[in-house]
Copies of this chain bind each other. A is one copy, B any other.
Amino acid sequence: MRAWKMNRGGGIASLACVQRSDPALRPGEVRVAVRAVSLNHRDLLMANDGDGSLLVPASDAAGVIVETGAGVTAWRIGDRVFAAFFPDWIDGEPSDANSARGFGGGLDGLLAERVVLPASALVRVPATLEFAAAATLPCAGVTAWNALFEAGRARPGDRVLVLGSGGVSTFALQLARAAGLGVIATSSDDAKLARLQGLGAGATINYRNEPAWDRRVLELTDGRGVDLVLETGGDATLSRSIRAARKGGRIAVIGGTSGGYGGVLEPWALVGGAKTLVGELVGSRTMAESLARFVDENQVAPVIDRRFAFEDARAAFEHLAGARHLGKVVIELPGA
């Protein structure tokens, strides 16, 4: 069977499709025939930065179980599944033990025709979801879910601010609206703002036209500020995001989407406003299960920007790197 490999630090050019034999299953493992893989900004970071070691990329995949190892009772051949981002984080809070290793980072990833996964890391794909949609859930979907409902503690009646139209922000907009939350979205592109409005944003701000967009957020909320900001912007946005949050509000700080931080924080704004800055790290299998139920119940259709064939994985990475997409870049295999 075939798998893609890349050199960490070797860039997209180092991606190569290789033949591998299927390893034998150990107790508690299952073999999954991959049907769809979704790419994340993190996969570009892995390609562009590292020690040259070989790695199968991609954390996000959905497929069909084709073999079960000894002691696996919860799954059967033919079950449609996706894998949680951190195979060791089942439930509860993050810890050094449960969220150290993720697919396509500390562990080999899932961009292959068949992969071996621990049975305990799997989540059932709801009947109404196609594989491509299910493949967007593990990283982007769960990150948005955690930022909204776990780390971010959004509650009905809350208003949320999402920044830009990256995979996590777009997902968060869709999930927030399906949960009845009010959403304000920003972008520098009016065409994208129109699409975000089509996905349910109640108000949008073009931050190129309104560089002081935090003040605009206050105006849109009667001077109060939003209950929750999903901070995906980095350096340029953190201080404004804090100001855009209400007294007692929360700012979920999400890594991996558009460069790092390093700017001057104004912690007095945290103290005077009793605001909370909460870092988050994808999420647990239990969060992924809740997300899958929720997406199914509410027929949330993850926005897929473009689909590529398995053979064209390199083109898919290049499309992602071009950063002109809105929504997810997905690689599909036969049977998807």
Contacts and interface: CB of A to CB of B under 8 A. Distances in A.
A26 B28 CA distance: 12
Interface in A105-163: 145, 148-149, 151, 155-157, 159
A201 B182 CA distance: 23
Categorize the interface residue count of chain A: 35 or more
A315 interface: no
Contacts of A267: 238, 253, 261, 265, 277, 279
Contact of A266 (B92, B202, B261, B294): B261
A225 B253 CA distance: 21
B91 A92 contact: yes
13 contacts: A28-B28, A94-B248, A94-B274, A95-B247, A149-B156, A151-B276, A156-B290, A182-B297, A202-B297, A255-B272, A261-B268, A263-B264, A277-B278
A158 to B, nearest CB: 8
Interface centre among A91, A159, A291 (most CB of B within 10 A): A91
Nearest to A98: B91
Contacts of A261: 265-268
Contacts of A151: 274, 276
Nearest to A155: B149
Interface centre among A27, A155, A270, A280 (most CB of B within 10 A): A270
Nearest to A283: B274
Interface string A168-211: 00000001001111100000000000000000001000000000
Interface of A: 26-28, 74, 90-97, 99, 145, 148-149, 151, 155-157, 159, 175, 178-182, 202, 223-224, 238, 246-248, 253-256, 260-281, 284, 286, 289-291, 293-294, 297-298
A270 B277 CA distance: 8
Contacts of A281: 271-274
4 pairs of A and B residues whose beta carbons are closest in the complex = A91-B92, A270-B279, A157-B290, A265-B265
A254 B271 contact: yes
A26 B27 CA distance: 9
